[in-house]
A = this chain, B = another copy of it.
Amino acid sequence: MYGRPGSCYIDIPGDFVNLEVNKSSVKYVECCPPPPTSMAEHSAVSKAVSIIAHAKQPLLIIGKGAAYSHAENNIRKLVDLCGLPFLPTPMAKGVVPDNHPNCVAAARSTALQHADVVILLGARLNWILHFGLPPRFRPDVKVIQIDICAEELGNNVRPAAVLLGDINAVTKQLLEEFSKRLLKYPSNSEWWKKLREKIKNNEERSKALALQKSLPMNYYTVFHHIRELIPKDSILVSEGANTMDIGRTMLPNYYPRQRLDAGTFGTMGVGLGFAIAAALVAKDRTPEKRVICIEGDSAFGFSGMEVETICRYNLPIVIIVVNNNGIYTGLNEDNWKEMLQYGDPATCVPPVSLLPNLHYEEIMSAFGGKGYFVKTPEELQKALKASVTDKQTPSLINVMIDPQSDRKKQEFPWLTRSNL
């Protein structure tokens, strides 16, 4: 809890679980005080602000550190005050709502590649941000690093300014300095024009894909309907390769700390555990809030038996399996045809894919929840409406999509690192 937040592991001996104790003999230990916060030194703050003031093509990157430090109000004020374009990392989505006009997530590659000043607010230049290196970043990009963890400062790229401190506290310091200086980045700049144009193009392409009528559905169509039908304050859990990646773009977050995905380490198999934990917390504190768990079919296979736990504790999680038969990247025509003919999958499909047309929804019904097998947009809408409305029963919607479906063509392959 103190310093850089992280997970901990608590091991409870088996015999403790069933033991009984005399309640009067229980010693209550006071909870530890809330984490202490620190601020950046004043000179570093004003150096950072000066650099931003001189930027031609600035970009604010909001990381999960911002979410952890509950900095949403101050960051929102900072974005509004300064007019900066911003980009959230996956777990930081919703710190400022994804539909804020300054969000340039739909022009991510362009924004990263042309920014002359990048402000990292609790984000790290790891593989998710392509290590801050060309060709994904300008070789002369100036990086301003704001972080709670001194040991992370200067990783991969030598920063132009560093602000060591709690993200929320430092954001407040930045706000004060910007207020004093009356600085605002002009919304009619060339940079904004370029970004807005790119956003428009990308959104049109996504929309076109989303509205395709052909069957089986593609990823964009599926996510389009999910976005339309789930409550805006839902907690989104997401895992799987394409499912998680495309979901990052297609499923907006409007509130902070409402998205749980594989994060920095890209671990598969954690989604159902995340959903159970989120649902238990929600049950206690915000019983109206829904947990929507969107899984690739391979990802679901890692811990699908956790559906039993979900049913045992009667947690009304909506699991959506986006089922492309375990294909990691789109199949070619021939494989696809053979697969449709239901030959021996061991001979006609790639070795790491799964059996076609599996009925994952029956795993939910086997344990007492509701299962839906879905092939068309209409079936998807119907199943989603029913699941979201029923706040008593867990459900699983098994959505069959085209194994040839893939992400839109990317300018850069996902993890490009400089080859210089």
Contact = CB atoms under 8 A, between A and B. Distances in A.
Residue with the highest number of chain B CB atoms closer than 10 Å, among A44, A149, A312: A312
B346 A33 contact: no
Nearest to A170: B38
Interface stretch (A97-105, A109-117, A150-158, A247-255): A150-158
A41 B151 CA distance: 20
Interface in A13-55: 14, 17-18, 30, 32-33, 35-41, 44
A164 interface: yes
Given A38-B39, A41-B36, A346-B312, A351 B17 contact: yes
Contacts of A44: 36
Nearest to A39: B39
Contacts of A308: 301, 354-355, 358
B36 A153 contact: yes
Contacts of A312: 345-346, 354-355
A365 to B, nearest CB: 7
Interface in A154-208: 154, 158-159, 162-166, 169
Contact of A18 (B351, B361, B365): B351
Given A301-B305, A358-B308, A366-B363, A2 B154 contact: yes
A118 B307 CA distance: 49
A391 interface: no
Given A2-B151, A354-B312, A358-B366, A36 B164 contact: yes
Contacts of A169: 41
A172 to B, nearest CB: 10
A293 B40 CA distance: 40
Interface in A350-397: 350-352, 354-355, 358-363, 365-368
A304 interface: yes
A2 to B, nearest CB: 4
A344 interface: yes
A39 B165 CA distance: 8
Nearest to A163: B36
B352 A18 contact: yes
Contacts of A14: 352
A313 B314 CA distance: 34
Contacts of A305: 301-305
A150 B18 contact: no
Given A39-B40, A41-B39, A151-B2, A366 B355 contact: no
A311 interface: yes
Contacts of A330: none
A2 B365 CA distance: 49
Nearest to A357: B368
B345 A38 contact: no
A37 B39 CA distance: 9
A287 interface: no
Contacts of A351: 17-18
A231 interface: no
A266 interface: no
Nearest to A304: B305
A32 B158 contact: yes
A3 interface: yes
Interface of A: 2-4, 14, 17-18, 30, 32-33, 35-41, 44, 148-151, 153-154, 158-159, 162-166, 169, 301-305, 308, 311-314, 344-346, 350-352, 354-355, 358-363, 365-368
12 contacts: A2-B151, A3-B149, A14-B352, A18-B350, A36-B150, A37-B164, A38-B40, A38-B41, A308-B358, A311-B355, A313-B346, A363-B366
